[in-house]
Structure 1
Amino acid sequence: MDQLKIISWFMFIISVGAIIYALIFNIPDWMVYGISLIFLPTGILSFGLLAMARGSKEEEEDKRKEPFIGY
């Protein structure tokens, strides 16, 4: 889970940075379209992964009390 959080944060920061770059600086239109097609979905995906990687306290307690023993 820690690796998922790190990668998700990294993707989210890069996506937000690229979107802000496209908004602030005067770059060609085709680059703005490329950034929007690539980094908007990537930002949404990474934000969703961050939300999923965070578990509730009840789930964490259940994991400690009843470890997975297999089937």
Structure 2
Amino acid sequence: MGMQKAISIILLILSTIAIVYCLIFNVETWIVYLVAIIGIPLWVLSFGLLTMAKPRKEDEEERVKEPFTGY
């Protein structure tokens, strides 16, 4: 889980930087499209993986005994 969390954090940071860069600076249109097609979904995916990785207090012990099964 540590490697997945590290990759998710890196992707979240990189996609956030790309999105903010396109919002602040006047860049070429194809770069904006590239960020919209790749950067925004990567941001959503990495943010979702990070929030799903944190167990609730009442589920911590159950997650240790039984791994996440996708419910």
Give the TM-score normalised by the residue count of structure 1: 0.81
The one-letter code of the counterpart of 1:44 is V
Aligned residues: 66
Give the 3-state SS of the residue equivalent to 1:26 in structure 2. coil
Q: What is aligned with 1:49?
A: 49
Q: Please report the RMSD computed on the Cα atoms of aligned residues, expressed in angstroms.
A: 1.5
C-alpha contact (below 8 Å) 1:8/1:50 kept by paired residues: yes
Partner of 2:39: 39
**Where do 5+ consecutive residues of structure 1 fail to align?**
none
Deviations, residues 9-53 of structure 1 (Å, cap 9, x unaligned):
111010000000111111111111111110000000001101111
Query: Distance in 2 between the 1:63 and 1:42 partners?
Result: 26
The structure, 1 or 2, with the larger RCO (C-alpha pairs under 8 Å, 6+ apart) is 1
**What are structure 2's unaligned runs of at least 5 residues?**
67-71
CA distance 1:37–1:55, change in 2 (3 Å):
same
Higher mean alpha-carbon deviation, 29-38 vs 51-60, is at 51-60
Q: Which residue of 1 aligns with 2:69?
A: none
In the aligned structure 2, how far is the partner of 1:39 from the partner of 1:58? Answer: 34
Larger Rg: 1
In the TM superposition, 1:7-26 aligns within 5 A as: 7-26=7-26
Q: Equivalent residue for 2:4?
A: 4
Ranges of 4+ aligned residues in structure 1 off by more than 4 Å: none
Name the % identity: 45
